[in-house]
Amino acid sequence: KVQLNLTHASESSSNDSNTKELAALQKERTIRSEANFFGSIQSGVDVAIYMGHARSGGGPDFSPPRLLRSGLPDYAFYRREKNGIRRLLKSLDNSLFPPAVVGLLACKSTQLFVSKIEKQVPNSLIVSAGDLFDYNDIVPTGFALLDSLLAEKCSSFFSESVRVRPLSADFLHFSRLP
């Protein structure tokens, strides 16, 4: 039996709208998205794939970015607090059984998250990005990853199948292949 549960974290594609006129709806969506992602991991989901922002080590994050007055993300806050990765590690620790696959399709997620997650779930396949990851690559890569898993592609074709776009192919990291 395979159960798929997909969620998205943004009320709209406009951060300005999400933090102003849609702020109340965005807050509700953030809460639902967090509950869906972290709750699924705790309930023992087989595959957890995050496609979003690494927030310089503070992700996974389902909220609009915390911004400085300059309008840039407050990366110092995210590096200091690390709320997302702490919550992810806690969810993995409290899971009924560890996911077989953890996908972290976010900028520099290999350096920012993989060593911590490998310690927590050493037998899970972790798919991550070793460099900046353009949104136009994240979504097709995420769907290619999901397709490869559902099609039960063997290790000789798995990484090739997931590397659907030239930019993604240079830096996707697989902790171990199925």
85-123 pLDDT tens trace = 999 999 999 999 999 899 999 999 999 999 999 999 999
pTM reported for the whole predicted model: 0.88
- Contact between 127 and 105 (Cβ < 8 Å): yes
Tokens found for residue 130: 């070793």
H-run or E-run covering 20: none
Domain ranges in the chain? 15-174
| 60/104 Cα distance (integer angstroms) | 8
Sign, Cα dihedral of 113, 123, 103, 97: negative
In this structure, what is the dihedral angle of CA atoms 13, 18, 19, 25, given to the nearest 10 degrees?
Answer: -160
Residue pLDDT, tens place only, 45-74:
999 999 999 999 999 999 999 999 999 999
Summary mean pLDDT of the chain: 88
| Short-list 159, 110, 158, 168, CA closest to 137 | 168
- Most confident segment among 7-16, 38-47, 75-84: 75-84
Q: How many CA atoms lie within 13 A of 56 on its CB side?
A: 12
